[in-house]
Structure formats: structure tokens, C-alpha cells
Structure 1
């Protein structure tokens, strides 16, 4: 399903000229906002930080938001949004750094916040691997 959403979005991109990313991908579903996203975007370091371009991140994120992989939990609101969780996971996977270093890099106060954000985003990957997706 993620691949199908990404292909559909890529086809729409190819057919539309001079359109902002947000206009194409958000459609009221995937809001491209977050502390980590803003830092990476401001520093213009998408390729260096997570091995993807900004457009590729938006396609991946839109596919995740469109699937049933991201689940809603009961309890208090999460401190890190889904987009930032995805970016933290990709950064962690690429660089293999300790949570404390990642927290310092992205100016986060608590290491546990980074750990929970990464574990939250790992859950859909585990589920998709189990289900054969």
C-alpha cells in the first residue's frame, strides 16, 4: 500500500508543474511540520541527514499517513509528531548514533523522548514485516 501511494503521488507530481510540495502532498492529511523537520529543512541537510531528498521524505510520510500502519494509542499525547518520529528513525538508522547524541543534535531536552519516538516509528515497520508487506 505504501508503494501504491508513493507511485500515485509521483504520477501526480509529474503531471503538475510549478506546484509547492505541500499543495501536492498535504490535502488535509499529512502536515509537514515539526521541530526536527524544521531543523533539517533550515540547514538544508535532508540528503546528508537521512539519505532522502525533501520530496522523497514527503512521499514516504504521505504513504505512511495514508496506510493503517500508524496506530493511535490511548493515553497522553505524544511529545513528537509522526513526521519528526520518521525523521528521527531515518537519522538513527543512517548514523547509528546513541539517543543522547541525537537528542543533542536536534535540541531535544530528554533522551527518552527520542527513544520513544524512534520506537513508535519502528512498530509499523515490524508489523509490515510480519504481515509480509
Structure 2
């Protein structure tokens, strides 16, 4: 079962198109839904979007898969709101969240992600090779 999941959610490969990967997921859920009834929800059409990372070049697929940066920013938002306590208005909350995001942009997240530098060029090569 684990090997099948690794084949469905292949990372760093351009061998599988998003729709093909979703069809493989549907076959997988059909195979195991008797043993694991909660898998039925995975074959919903809206889950095609989970395979959008396959449209990007293989070198950055793993980076798109992670949400660590978003989780870290949410944790910072919660920490700052706890420290401040009550806020005078909804606008003040938005201003505070914006200032936290700007601070993180200039300090924590201020390093270049060089892999994304050539994304457009890589996409053009993929389109030309098709």
C-alpha cells in the first residue's frame, strides 16, 4: 500500500500528468475503499488540484509540496495577537498582521530561492518538447 501511494504522489518527476495521477488515485481508492471507507472522499473531482505540483519543473516540485512557511507565519500571527491582548478595531488587527508579515519578509524569509529563478525558462522548454 505504501509503495502504491509513493507512485501516486510522485515527486521530482515529469513522467505523470496531473489528471493521470488523479486517475491513479481513484483506482487506488476503489481498490482499498472496502477496508478503509474514509478513502471514498479522495475520489472527488475537487481533489484534482492536489496534483497541480506535477505541472511545475521537477526541481521545484518538492518545494511546492510543503506548507512550513505558511504554518510558521500563522504561528507568528497567533503569538503577536496573544502578546497584544485586545485590539481597538478590526483595522488595527489587519495593520498588525501586515506589519508582522512585512517584518518576516525582511528578516526570516529574506533569502533568495534560486531554484525559482529559471521557472519560466523551464516551462517553455517543457512546452517546446511536447
TM-score range, shorter chain: under 0.3
Q: Which has the higher contact order (CA 8 A, sep 6+)?
A: 1
Larger Rg: 2
Structure having the higher helix fraction is: 2
TM-score by length of 1: 0.24
